[in-house]
Structure 1
């Protein structure tokens, strides 16, 4: 292969790579990893109405004006025995049955309310799994 052919071949590969990168879809920020504060502001209006099971205490203690919220979207799954597992700050954790709310979220997805320390106040499982 001549030097000119090699340069042209390399240029073709680089052009294809550049075009592929330019046309690749841009992903929105993923708020489903259960990280503290992520996705709270978008859902605060209905988070603040959630009550901890067995009490009148709020699930949501965060606000949207500069303060990170403790409720946020997450990914979760339910095992055959009924136990839920959810992403909390990027780690899969078991959800205590006492904090599982028996209702669906307005968007049908899973949501978790937990403090910075990881204590879970409330959890809403997705429909059927999210």
Structure 2
């Protein structure tokens, strides 16, 4: 990882961990992805941007496999997604062969702009919703 990419990663994750995520996950209509911590086994909630299309929820991780929630998905793909205040169970799929830049064009603009601006290793994720 280049020095600039490492700096962007550290700045973004520090802000998200200590400021953004604690505030956003408390907002009732914020979309939240819940994974199971790969070490702790405890639920881990991360505010995300994305869009539901039929029985799937699509999102793009800005830091790919360096993201903690992506690492949790690799350990256990069973997740929950809170959409419009309602929780849905699902199974997450990492899609490294998908074009994340093209995928972002179909997702909410504000979040997509942030992911493009700060992201260093974009990775598409699809959650197949089961309820």
TM-score normalised by L of structure 1 = 0.26
| Structure whose residues are more often strand by fraction | 2
| Structure whose residues are more often helix by fraction | 2
TM-score normalised by L of structure 2 = 0.26
